[in-house]
Structure 1
């Protein structure tokens, strides 16, 4: 390696570090826009093809305008179908969490404490435990009550950035993939094989594990709402995270919720919730997860779990997707090396 190559590599490393420093405050929104673009791109292609006859025989500028119309339509659809519901759920979640931290939860704490004392002869401060848990979650997620406004402002800026990036990613995604292919110093067939594996892994994680977990949480949340469990949005959000745990995830919420109903003498509702959890919620995990995920991602659920928690800790909310994808990309790379270069 000559001096010119060494200098260029050093310059690339330096600029890469500076770029990471600049992007890092909004890295989770950048990642979210890329993931959403990945999910929406097949719809963008379909919509562009449907609009293509209108632009047939016209200039490249007109074709570009047709693609712009498709991207804008999908962004508006994403705002209505994804962003607005997510903002509302986040608002209700923060409201419920603040109420729990202030000791104003709708949970019948007195009845629970009385029943525990009756069964065990010991007194437990359930309300104090809930307040402490709420405070810890507020500090961890938002930096306390004072950080909620700052987090909301940062989220507004991040969402605006994500929408702009979503537009440009939809418009120029194929060109970026082509550039990426040209930059990978591997034979064309090996590059195609690697990118195919990465695509299958990413699709399995994004549309597989996460979608199944969200579906299971929503179904379980509907059951909690029907039987009258308080703070339903909060517990549904918790189940969306726990549902990434195979078999026992969502049960850690709806199981105690059924017991809570029995404790406060709503026995029928508790039994109905337990039956609903076993017959409906658990079936989503038992049947949908292997059907949707294992055929695409080819990752062990334990590996997915490690990626989820590590990703959330490192990146934030989008780590739910990023962690398993990164581990999946590592697995795809190792598999490609084994198939194409391991001659021993």
Structure 2
């Protein structure tokens, strides 16, 4: 390595670190934009095919397709979260005012008899409501700062997704061309990353939605009220393997038991342990491992680590990063270890070794 190359490498490291420091406050939004653009791109291609003949130019069709998908994804992602938060706060207010369908008096009596614990559910709900409002609205300056940060982050996500949908393939091609790896190895690595990422994202989401819907059917059959709300909550929690939907159907079964609905409680418990858990133990490994080749335990570690580090977006980014690590290792194993084995075998074949009869591999003229 000469002085110019060394200087360039040092400069590259300094600038890369500086860029990371600059984008660090919005790192989770940047990663979310990359994730959304990756998921939406196949839909963008299909929608672009249908729009190309109707609009004046290809660029206009690309922009129209990208804007349509961004608007649709924004509605799909934001509205359920707003609905969950609004409904949750309204339920807490209703419980604190005593205006609820929950049989709170019966639950309090059963808890006192079974566990020996005196609990005032109405008072507890009121205190929790006041705590939530104090956390979010007491510090006005913090609320303004949080609102500004989230607004800037959402705007950044929208702009990044838009331009990634338009120029994403060109960016991938540039990265592959700028990579020091050979074109064949770069192509293999990109294919490996694509397969593991798609399996971790789409397989993870498919399993979560399917499990939430099946668990919601169980809640409906057991007679739990407000099933739509709890199903949407479970769609979010189901991204946590093994323990996600359990956090909903298990307390629901306990609630039914406390209000003397023993048959419904037993049904929901058995349904959750068998039918709902079937998704975690069988369906989730199939839909994820088929493409991502990741063990569910690895997915769980990636989810918890990602959530702890990056918040909500870490639900996906954590497993994806582990999947990318697996893809890099798999590419190294396939490309370099196999080539080293082939070179070793070729060099061994070139060495003259005695045959079984003791005659060396020499030309016939020499042997005579």
User: Residue 216 of structure 1: SS of its match in structure 2?
Assistant: helix
Alignment counterpart, residue 295 of structure 1, candidates 290, 294, 298: 290
Q: Is the 8 A contact 1:100 1:134 kept in 2?
A: no
Is the radius of gyration larger for structure 1 or structure 2?
A: 2
Deviation larger for 274-283 or 163-172? 274-283
User: What is the alpha-carbon distance in structure 1 between the residues aligned to residue 99 and residue 170 of structure 2?
Assistant: 52
Provide the residue aligned with 1:6 in structure 2: 6
2:58 maps to 63
> What is the Cα deviation at residue 210 of structure 1?
3.2
TM (norm. structure 1) is 0.81
Query: Residues of 1 paired with 2:6 and 2:47: CA distance?
Result: 46
Tell me how large the CA RMSD over aligned residues is.
3.7
CA displacement at 1:126 relative to structure 2 = 7.5
- Matches of 1:273 and 1:151 in 2, distance apart? 40
TM-score (norm 2): 0.76
3-state SS of 2:292 partner: coil
SS, match of residue 4 in structure 1: helix
Aligned to 2:73: 78
**Which residue, 183, 186, 190 being the options, matches 1:191?**
186
Higher alpha-carbon deviation: 23-32 or 268-277: 268-277
Corresponding residue SS for 1:265 = coil
| Runs of 5+ consecutive residues of structure 2 not aligned to the other structure | 342-368
Q: In 1, are the aligned partners of 2:219 and 2:227 still within 8 Å (CA)?
A: no
Structure 2 contact 307–314 (Cα < 8 Å) conserved: yes
Paired position in structure 2 for 1:314 = 309
1-structure distance, mates of 2:218, 2:143: 30
The aligned runs of 1:1-344 (5 Å cut-off) are 1-54=1-54, 62-93=57-88, 95=89, 110-120=105-115, 122-123=116-117, 125=119, 146=139, 150-221=145-216, 223-224=218-219, 227-228=223-224, 233=229, 237=233, 240-241=236-237, 244-246=240-242, 249-274=244-269, 276-278=271-273, 280-342=275-337, 343=340
> Which whole-Å CA distance do the structure 1 matches of 2:332 and 2:286 have between them?
28
Q: What CA distance in whole angstroms lies between the structure 1 residues aligned with 2:269 and 2:138? A: 35
Preserved CA contact (<8 Å) 2:37 2:164: yes
Seen in structure 2, the aligned counterparts of structure 1 residues 15 and 7 have a Cα distance that, compared at 3 Å, is: same
Distance between the aligned counterparts of 1:101 and 1:154, measured in 2?
33
Q: Which has the higher contact order (CA 8 A, sep 6+)?
A: 1
C-alpha contact 1:96 1:234 (8 A) present in aligned 2 = no
* Structure 1 residue 50 displacement after superposition: 2.4
Answer yes or no: is the 8 Å Cα contact 1:210–1:320 preserved in 2.
no
The number of aligned residues is 333
> Relative to 1, partners in 2 of residues 1:173 and 1:280: Cα closer, same or farther, differing over 3 Å?
same
Output the CA distance in 1 between the equivalents of 2:187 and 2:123.
54
- Deviation track 1:5-55 (CA, whole Å, cap 9, x = no partner) reads 333222222222222222122222221121111111111111222233456
Describe the shift of the 1:116–1:216 C-alpha distance in structure 2 as closer, same or farther (beyond 3 A): same
Query: What secondary structure is seen at the aligned counterpart in 2 of 1:10?
Result: helix
Provide Cα deviations, 1:277-319, integer angstroms capped at 9, x if missing partner. 3565334334531332121111011111010010111111100
Task: Give unpaired runs (5+ residues) of structure 1.
Answer: none
Q: Return the offset for 1:221.
A: 4.4
